[in-house]
């Protein structure tokens, strides 16, 4: 791998100039990791684009980052089928594409004049007398190595530069909070377009662990067999993936007992699904990680040296400081159970200090309170601290609602509603202010499991009873709607904002009839 990295670094020098931004839009393959590391080695900047993005999303990201080139594949192979990738990439921009064939050595697309096949690209390194040697570019610690994009729940994606410090933070976090060590086999299905991509690369390779890469969909038995056969010792997941594995029973008959630790990130996890996952390897611990692309890491996490609880975080990550703020922006005392928005301490090892297409200070600092002389950094999550000091994410600050004067969060209501009937796959809770004014109304949207039929009136009664019993006797459910699926961001985050808008329009229409 080192030899191939040096070869690619030489080829980069033949094709691009120092400091150029060069994008990667392809699955997380061995070639993708080699290209990623070679770009950093050669003192260029990686632009991370997820391989699931449509042409217009690719275009926006190439434009914002001023990318001079893009590494991609002709096709993506998923479950035996081929999906076009090169055609999406060239629709997104005119910069030079370097195209890797998905199967064997031969490309199955015709390239534009300015583009190069992987083979042609590598052959440009041959003009250097020692193409297998390379002296790395030395840069200052604040030089940019990678431009990543936030998932863009609020419209335009934010372009976030990672410096030379971010990799150190990634590796330090995984070492301290997931016990990643030399000899471990680390596997986390993701893509270089998400923060977890570079985090996985650095978390494994910088400590001498092996990075296990599966070239296919992580949804089925094939992935599980790979985890078994590769001897994975640390397996990272996202909750919806675990839910699929459990519901489809596709992982039965596999031996995952080499796994020392599980990890989970990306969304709120389900305690029953976590228990099932943990049981795959003699009930090994599962570490939750919650972070941000702009932080280069997780701010709340689990730890192998503390008792863990499913669906909860046991500590702030190493070097992270934060307070939980009440409605007036005043921090709760540290030893007290509470719910509020998190305020991060501003000195945060490895976090970004600028945005390429937005005002960093306005996004992360403006309007945040001062604590002990420090202007706190915004993240936007609502956090609950339980008795005993565990932390639970309650959703985004913009997903809180006010029901009858009581502040509550969508996630808290959904946790209860998810379990009231066996027909329910998932629920989403949003609140609406009636057009005629008055208190906010609680609306619950439901996706049913396949082959189940249920009336919304019956579910409404069940939801009301469960919420009143478990959360607050004063809460009333205003409206229930069954839908086929929920809108999600590309990184699988539930778009409650979109649901709220749809329900608002629908209820307005009904009131006119």
Ligand X SMILES: *[C@@H]1O[C@H](CO)[C@@H](O)[C@H](O)[C@H]1NC(C)=O
CA distance 165 to 494: 31
From the list 304, 298, 256, 258, the residue with the least C-alpha distance to 277 is 256
Which region among 252-260, 272-280, 282-290, 470-478 touches ligand X (by CB under 6 A)?
252-260
List binders of ligand X among 102-131 (CB under 6 A). none
Q: Does the footprint of ligand X cover residue 489 (CB under 6 A)?
A: no
Output the smallest distance, CB 342 to ligand X, in A.
40
**Which residue of the chain is nearest ligand X when measured via CB?**
255
Output the smallest distance, CB 232 to ligand X, in A.
11
Q: Does the footprint of ligand X cover residue 258 (CB under 6 A)?
A: yes
Output the smallest distance, CB 286 to ligand X, in A.
20
234 contacts 187 by C-beta, under 8 angstroms: yes
Sole binder of ligand X in the list 103, 217, 255, 336 (CB under 6 A):
255
Angle of CA points 352, 357, 359, to nearest 5°: 65
Of the two residues 223 and 463, which places its CB atom closer to ligand X in the complex? 223
Quick check: helix, strand or coil at residue 352? Answer: coil
Of the two residues 114 and 279, which places its CB atom closer to ligand X in the complex? 279
Q: How far is CA 41 from CA 12, 19, 124, 168, 293, in A?
A: 10, 11, 17, 15, 22
Interhelix angle 30-41/2-15, nearest 10 degrees:
60
CA distance 162 to 227: 30
304 contacts 261 by C-beta, under 8 angstroms: yes
Q: Does the footprint of ligand X cover residue 248 (CB under 6 A)?
A: no
CA distance 427 to 404: 21
CA distance 248 to 220: 9
Q: Does the footprint of ligand X cover residue 132 (CB under 6 A)?
A: no
Any idea which residue has 């977890």 for tokens?
Answer: 196
Output the smallest distance, CB 291 to ligand X, in A.
31
Of the two residues 194 and 256, which places its CB atom closer to ligand X in the complex? 256
Phi, psi at 504, each rounded to 5°: -60, -45
Total residues contacting ligand X by CB under 6 A comes to 3
Output the smallest distance, CB 257 to ligand X, in A.
5
Output the smallest distance, CB 220 to ligand X, in A.
21
CA distance 224 to 337: 39
Of the two residues 217 and 255, which places its CB atom closer to ligand X in the complex? 255
Of the two residues 221 and 501, which places its CB atom closer to ligand X in the complex? 221
Of the two residues 17 and 255, which places its CB atom closer to ligand X in the complex? 255
CA distance 216 to 193: 16
Residues in the chain: 513
Which region among 125-133, 251-259, 277-285, 316-324 touches ligand X (by CB under 6 A)?
251-259
Which region among 91-99, 250-258, 451-459, 461-469 touches ligand X (by CB under 6 A)?
250-258
CA distance 340 to 148: 28
List binders of ligand X among 351-380 (CB under 6 A). none
| DSSP at 418 | T
Of the two residues 279 and 402, which places its CB atom closer to ligand X in the complex? 279
Of the two residues 138 and 282, which places its CB atom closer to ligand X in the complex? 282
Structure tokens at 132: 């297998």
Of the two residues 229 and 398, which places its CB atom closer to ligand X in the complex? 229
CA distance 237 to 310: 14
Q: Does the footprint of ligand X cover residue 257 (CB under 6 A)?
A: yes
Which region among 77-85, 255-263, 294-302, 352-360 touches ligand X (by CB under 6 A)?
255-263
Residues at the site binding ligand X, with contacts judged by CB under 6 A:
255, 257-258
């Amino acid at each position: 791998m080192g030899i191939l990295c040096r070869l690619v670094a030489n080829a980069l020098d033949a094709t691009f100039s120092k400091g150029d931004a060069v994008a990667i839009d392809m699955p997380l393959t061995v070639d993708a990791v080699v290209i990623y590391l070679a770009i950093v080695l050669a003192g260029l900047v990686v632009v991370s684009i997820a391989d699931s993005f449509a042409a217009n999303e690719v275009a926006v990201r190439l434009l914002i980052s001023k990318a001079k080139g893009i590494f991609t594949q002709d096709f993506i192979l998923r479950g035996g089928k081929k999906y076009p990738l090169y055609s999406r990439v060239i629709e997104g921009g005119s910069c030079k594409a370097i195209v890797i064939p998905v199967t064997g050595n031969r490309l199955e697309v015709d390239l534009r004049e300015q583009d190069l096949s992987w083979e042609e690209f590598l052959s440009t390194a041959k003009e250097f007398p020692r193409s297998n040697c390379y002296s790395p570019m030395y840069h200052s610690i604040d030089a940019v190595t990678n431009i990543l994009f936030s998932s863009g729940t609020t419209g335009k994606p934010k372009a976030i530069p990672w410096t030379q410090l971010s990799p150190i933070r990634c590796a330090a976090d995984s070492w301290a909070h997931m016990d990643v060590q030399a000899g471990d086999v680390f596997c986390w299905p993701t893509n270089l377009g998400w923060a977890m991509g570079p985090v996985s690369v650095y978390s494994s390779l910088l400590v001498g662990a092996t990075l296990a890469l599966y070239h296919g969909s992580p949804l089925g038995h094939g992935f599980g067999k790979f985890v078994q056969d590769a001897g994975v010792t640390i397996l990272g997941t996202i909750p919806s993936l675990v839910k699929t594995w459990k519901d489809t029973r596709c992982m039965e008959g596999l031996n995952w007992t080499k796994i020392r630790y599980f990890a989970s990130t990306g969304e709120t996890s389900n305690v029953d699904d976590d228990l099932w996952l943990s049981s795959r390897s003699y009930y090994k611990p599962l570490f939750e990680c919650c972070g941000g692309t702009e932080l280069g890491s997780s701010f709340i996490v689990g730890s192998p040296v503390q008792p863990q609880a499913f669906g909860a975080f046991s500590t702030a990550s190493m070097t992270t400081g934060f307070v939980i703020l009440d409605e007036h922006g005043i921090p709760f005392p540290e030893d007290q159970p509470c719910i509020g928005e998190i305020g991060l301490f501003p000195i945060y090892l490895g976090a970004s200090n600028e945005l390429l297409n937005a005002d960093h200070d306005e996004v992360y600092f403006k309007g945040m309170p001062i604590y002990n002389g420090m202007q706190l950094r915004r993240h936007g999550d609502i956090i609950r601290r339980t008795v005993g000091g565990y932390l639970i994410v309650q959703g985004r600050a913009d997903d809180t609602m006010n029901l009858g004067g009581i502040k509550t969060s969508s996630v808290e209501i959904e946790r209860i509603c998810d379990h009231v009937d066996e027909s329910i796959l998932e629920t989403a809770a949003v609140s609406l202010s009636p057009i005629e004014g008055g208190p906010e109304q609680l609306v619950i949207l439901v996706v049913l499991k396949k082959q189940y039929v249920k009336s919304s009136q019956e579910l409404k009664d069940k939801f009301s009873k469960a919420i009143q019993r478990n959360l607050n006797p004063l809460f009333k459910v205003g409206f229930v709607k069954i839908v086929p699926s929920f809108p999600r961001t590309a990184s699988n985050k539930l778009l409650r904002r979109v649901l709220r808008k749809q329900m608002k329009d629908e209820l307005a229409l009904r009131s006119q009839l």
